[in-house]
Structure 1
Amino acid sequence: METRKKVTISTLKNKKNKGEKAVFITAYDFPAATFANKAGVDMILVGDSGAMCLLGYQTTNEVSMDEMIMMTNAVIRGNKHAFVVGDMPFLSYQISNEIAVSNAGRFIKSGCDAIKLEGGVRMVERVRAITDSGIAVMGHIGLTPQNMAQMGGYKIQGKDIASFNALVEDAKALEKAGAFSILLEGVTNEVAEIVKNSVSIPCYGIGAGVKLDGQLIIMHDILGTFVGEIRPKFIKVFDNIGDKITEAISQYATEVRNATFPAEEHFYPISDEALSMIKKTLG
């Protein structure tokens, strides 16, 4: 078997230059990271979406830095080759440059290769401060879940001239501030391509069409294991593992109640001699 090399920023830039798509997926724990590596993904995002997918919160804004670091540590233990990006949670970077750098550093100390934060022009100062500290930054523009209240809900971006101009301005500002890549979320296919072409750094998409340098998807969405009401249009369920899990647990419950599990093949053996001696002690 060919030994895979660790994916780096140089790897990702080379893929863009060659026109090769990067495969980007979320993971929040050791098994997920292990499976993603076996599948040969290029990048893993320890996303704040773990708030909803793994921890059961109603929004991404409820997850803490400590919880993000807990998930990150688990992913790093399972990772071998993928480029790992830590997702900066709400209020972990917005308050000040000092807080932003400190929290970004926690992800790097945990083993991440880079961090991601939401916002374009308005976050330039934070991006520059973090990159100046020696930490790689992925920008995130378009539909930014941490700002849902300001955006008036889950609204697709790039559908009018004002939204388009803002996206291009954000992308250029992030590149100038030192971001090594950009994630576009919830952007129209055609506009996402124009935004990508307005900068030289890799641009990845989640719900932003097919023209970008790679795709991010939430693992729970493609496996059908997300327990919640949100079902974005861009999601494709590749295998409904959720139903299979429910069926397996239901079968287990039935066999326990019928006393057909555990069966004899699941018992640990004991010799007749030892069992006889034990029974003699019972009088």
Structure 2
Amino acid sequence: MSTHAEIKRVTVPQLRACKGQRKIAALTAHNFSTARIIDEYLDFILIGDSTAMVAYGLPNTLSITLEQIAQHTAAVVRATKHACIVADMPFGTYQESLEQAFRNAAYLVSHGADAVKLEGGAVMAPTIEFLVARGIPVLAHVGLMPQYVNTMGGYLAQGKTPDAAARILGDAKAHEQAGAFGVVLEGVAEALGTEITEQLSIPTIGIGASVSCDGQILVTEDMLGLSGERVPKFVKRYANLEESMRSAVQRYADEVRASKFPEPQHCFAVKRS
């Protein structure tokens, strides 16, 4: 009989209980290898619609499909044991009706997601309430919303004027009242991020918001230096894995061409004198 203690995933209620107790650390993942490495250090992992850009090279998040997010979610679930798993709902999969939103959110849950994330202002509060009442936890997302890139005119910081700040604060409060367990604040003025965090009873997860937020999330490729030279202002690079990978691949290619790899220890049934 095994004596090892069972590793239990972080739950949505545990994430919510972090408010005022400790900070929440989160990153994105879209493949088995990355998720396996980052799992033990994080409270939740997001299968973001940013997968469209970092995994498929698409210009924005708008064209990734529900089926693609579901398959990436399943891969991340298989790789992990600890972190809560949150899946992004792609553009066009929840805005049409409450029934559409539930059907597609349930599809992501069936692939292993513990919760879903959706973008939008107060207009999405009824959708959040509908999903939560039917057993699907929801992480809201306000401020700079990549799925609204066309109406916002680009990836522009939000909440810089009193009216804009008041609107985003109202959005966050509406989502809290609707039953969201947390709110992602992206690309908002620092003072606004602090104010929303102070006024909500649920955790705020910052990405380009404020250090006062109850937690932080980044796109993993950005913080590891795997997304090219241009990164958002709010990203801190904790490594330069692109440089390391280039160096390793160059060494490999050089050794192959010089017949230095494989060596005898990398081969089978090598006769030795």
TM-score range, shorter chain: over 0.9
Larger Rg, first or second structure (1 or 2): 1
CA distance in structure 2 between the partners assigned to 1:267 and 1:109 by the alignment: 43
Q: 1:192: how far off? A: 0.5
- Residue aligned with 2:157, SS: coil
Please give the per-residue CA displacement for 1:193-232, whole angstroms capped at 9, x wherever unaligned: 11122221111111112000000011101111114x6411
Shift of residue 58, structure 1, vs aligned partner = 1.3
Query: Equivalent residue for 1:160?
Result: 161
Deviations 1:52-75 (A, max 9, x none): 111211111111111101110100
Cα distance in 2, alignment partners of residues 270 and 243 from structure 1: 35
- 1:161 deviates by 0.5
- 1:140 maps to which residue? 141
How far apart are the structure 1 equivalents of 2:17 and 2:135?
Answer: 21
Q: Distance in 2 between matches of 1:3 and 1:96?
A: 40
Distance 1:7 1:87 in 2: 18
Find out whether 1:240 has 2:240 as its counterpart. Answer: yes
| C-alpha RMSD of the superposition | 1.8
Q: Which moved more, 1:172-181 or 1:141-150?
A: 172-181
Count of aligned positions: 270
Cα distance in 1 for partners of 2:45, 2:106 equals 18
Q: Distance in 2 between matches of 1:85 and 1:107?
A: 9
Normalised by the size of structure 2, how large is the TM-score? 0.94
The aligned residue for residue 25 of structure 2 is 23
Question: CA separation in 1, counterparts of 2:268 and 2:63?
Answer: 46
Consecutive unaligned residues of structure 1, counting only runs of 5 or more, are 273-283
Among 13, 17, 36, the residue aligned to 1:14: 17
Shift of 1:87: 0.3
Q: Using a 3 Å threshold, how does the CA distance of structure 1 residues 270 and 251 change in structure 2: closer, same or farther?
A: closer
- Indicate the residue corresponding to 2:215 in structure 1: 214
Partner of 2:249: 249
Q: 124-133 or 218-227, which moves further after superposition?
A: 124-133
Superposed displacement of residue 14, structure 1: 2.5
Identity across matched positions, percent = 39
* AA aligned opposite 1:30: F
User: CA shift at 1:270, angstroms?
Assistant: 4.9
Residues 44-83 of structure 1 mapped to structure 2, 5 A cutoff: 44-83=45-84
Look up the SS of the partner of 2:27 in the other structure: strand
Offset at residue 103 of structure 1 (A) = 0.7
Q: Is the 8 A contact 2:144 2:158 kept in 1?
A: yes
Deviation at 1:9, TM superposition (A): 2.1
Deviation at 1:111, TM superposition (A): 1.1
Contact map agreement 2:50 2:61 (CA 8 A) in 1: yes
- Deviation of 1:158 after TM superposition, in Å, equals 1.7
3-state SS in 1 of match to 2:62: helix
SS in 1 for 2:184: strand
Report the equivalent of 1:36.
38
- Report the TM-score when normalising by structure 1: 0.91
Q: CA deviation at 1:6?
A: 2.1
Map 1:167-246 → 2, pairs under 5 A: 167-227=168-228, 230-246=230-246
